[in-house]
Structure 1
C-alpha cells in the first residue's frame, strides 16, 4: 500500500468531501473547516481543518459558537498530520477534553484475510429491524458500560431512510447477543467505515470480533468499496493488523460539552473503545 497516496485519498474523499451520515444531518465547509451537524442524538463535530496558526483560535471559537448555539456537544477529530502542530493544545485551552488516541487504520479489501469465521455455536446476523437494533444496543451497553439510546435512534433513522448506507450486525451465541458492530457505507465513497465493534466480557478473546470484521469486509466488497477504514483502539489494532489493515496516522477526539454540560451518547465509538473511556480487549 502506498501510505501517502491512500492518506491523501482519505483526506480528500472522507474529510474534505465528507457526507452527511443520516437524516437531519448536513455538512458545511466554513473557511478551512469542514463540520458535520446532526440531530441531538447524532454525531456533531469537525471532520477536517486546515488552519494557519494565525487563524486557528478564531476558527475554534467559530465552531464552539455554532454547536453550542444549537445546544450540541461536539467533537473535533484531530489527526496526527493536521496543522497547526499545536492545535491540540489550542483546543484544550478553548475548553475541549481529549479522548484516547486512536489509530486510523486502512485495509484494501482485496488484500484482507476475509476467511475468519465465528467460533462454534455463534452465528452472525445482519440487523434489518427494530428487534435487531435492540440487540446491538444491548451489546453496546454491556460491552462498553455506556448508554446506547443515541445509537438506537441513529440506527432506526438510517434503516428507515437509507438502509443501504449502514450495515449493522450482531453475533448470537444461541439466543444471547455477545458482540455487535456497524459499518458506514456512503454511496460512491472509496472507503467504508467500521465503527462500534464491541464484545461482552465473557466472550472476548474467542475470535468473535475478527469474524465481525471479516463479515463487514465481505459486505463492503460486494458493495464496491475498495478500502475499509477503522479508528482503532490499542486493543483492536493488533487484531486488525493480523487481518491485513495498515496504520496510516493517529486521530484523537477532542470533545466540547454544551453550556449546560450535557453529554450526548457518542456514535463515533472506535473499534474496541468504550464511550466511558476505558478500553477492553476484544
Structure 2
C-alpha cells in the first residue's frame, strides 16, 4: 500500500469533498442536519488565514447555539493550528492514530468467543442496544451518538452497518461497532468497537473488525479506515492495518464528542 497516495485520497475523498458536508471558504464542515455531528472535517489554512477562519466557525456554530469539534490531522496547516485553536477557546481531545488497510488483505472470519452473539441493529431497539454497549465501554453519555445513528439509519440505511455483541442468554450488550460506507470513494470508516471492561481481551473487538470487513468486501470497498485509540492500535496492526497519520479533536463549547 502506497501510504502517501492513500493519505492523499483520504484527504480528498473523506475530508475536502465529503458528502454530505458544506464548504465555508477554506473550511469544510458537517452539521447534524446533514446526518453527522457538528464539526469541521477539513481546512486549507495558512498563518495569515487561520485565525479568521477559526473565528468564523466559532461564530457560525455558537450562532446555532451549539458546541462543535474541529477534527485536525498532523499534516494540516499551519503547523501551529492546534495552538491557535486552544487560544480561541478549544479543548484538545485525545490524539488517535489514522490507520488504513486494504480490505482484500483482511480476515473476514468473525471468530466470536463462547457466549457471544452478533446482532445487526436496524431499528430503535437496536440503536438502544448500541447505546447501552457504548455507555458500558466508554462510560460516557451516548445520547449524541444515538441521535446521529438514528438519523443515518433513517436517511441512508444501506450505507451504515451497526453491529452489537450480546453476551449470555439475557443478551447483555457488551460491545458495539459500526461501519459507514461512502459512495464514490475508496473508503469505509470503522467506528466504535469499545468493549465493556469485563469482556475485554476475549477477541470481541477483532471479531467485529472481521465482520465489518466481510460486509465491506461484499460491497467492493477498497480500504477500511479507523481512528485508533492506544488500546485498539496494536490489535489493528496485527490484523493488517497501517498507521498513516494522527488525528486530534479540538472541542469548542459544551459536549464531549461521540467517542467513536
Q: Distance in 2 between matches of 1:173 and 1:212?
A: 14
Tell me if the contact between 1:182 and 1:195 (Cα under 8 Å) persists in the aligned partners: yes
- 5 Å-filtered alignment, 1:70-109, equals 70-109=64-103
Tell which deviates more after alignment, 185-194 or 149-158: 149-158
Q: State the aligned residue count.
A: 258
State the Cα distance separating 1:228 from its structure 2 match.
0.5
Q: Which residue of 2 aligns with 1:36?
A: 30
* Structure 1 residue matching 2:182: 3-state secondary structure: coil
1:106-160 Cα deviation digits (max 9, x unpaired): 0110011333411122111211221111111111111111111222222222222
Asked if 1:136 is matched to 2:145, the reply is no
Q: Distance in 2 between matches of 1:220 and 1:127?
A: 17
1:68-127 Cα deviation digits (max 9, x unpaired): 111111111110111110111100000000001100000110011333411122111211
Q: Which residue of 2 aligns with 1:68?
A: 62
Gaps of 5+ in 1: 21-26, 271-282
* Structure 1 residue matching 2:48: 3-state secondary structure: helix
Q: Which residue of 1 aligns with 2:177?
A: 181
User: Which one of the candidate residues 266, 269, 282 is aligned to 2:257?
Assistant: 266
Q: Which residue of 1 aligns with 2:195?
A: 199
Q: Distance in 2 between matches of 1:167 and 1:2?
A: 28
Q: Which residue of 2 aligns with 1:152?
A: 146
Asked if 1:251 is matched to 2:247, the reply is yes
Tell me if the contact between 1:104 and 1:248 (Cα under 8 Å) persists in the aligned partners: yes
User: TM-score, normalization: structure 1?
Assistant: 0.88
State the Cα distance separating 1:187 from its structure 2 match.
2.0
Q: Which residue of 2 aligns with 1:2?
A: 2
User: Which one of the candidate residues 95, 109, 117 is aligned to 2:111?
Assistant: 117
Tell me if the contact between 1:40 and 1:72 (Cα under 8 Å) persists in the aligned partners: no
* Structure 1 residue matching 2:49: 3-state secondary structure: helix
State the Cα distance separating 1:31 from its structure 2 match.
2.1
Root mean square deviation, CA, Å:
1.6
State the Cα distance separating 1:29 from its structure 2 match.
1.5
Gaps of 5+ in 2: none
Q: Which residue of 1 aligns with 2:19?
A: 19
Consecutive aligned runs of 4 or more in structure 1 exceeding 4 Å deviation: 39-42
* Structure 1 residue matching 2:144: 3-state secondary structure: helix
Q: Distance in 2 between matches of 1:248 and 1:125?
A: 32
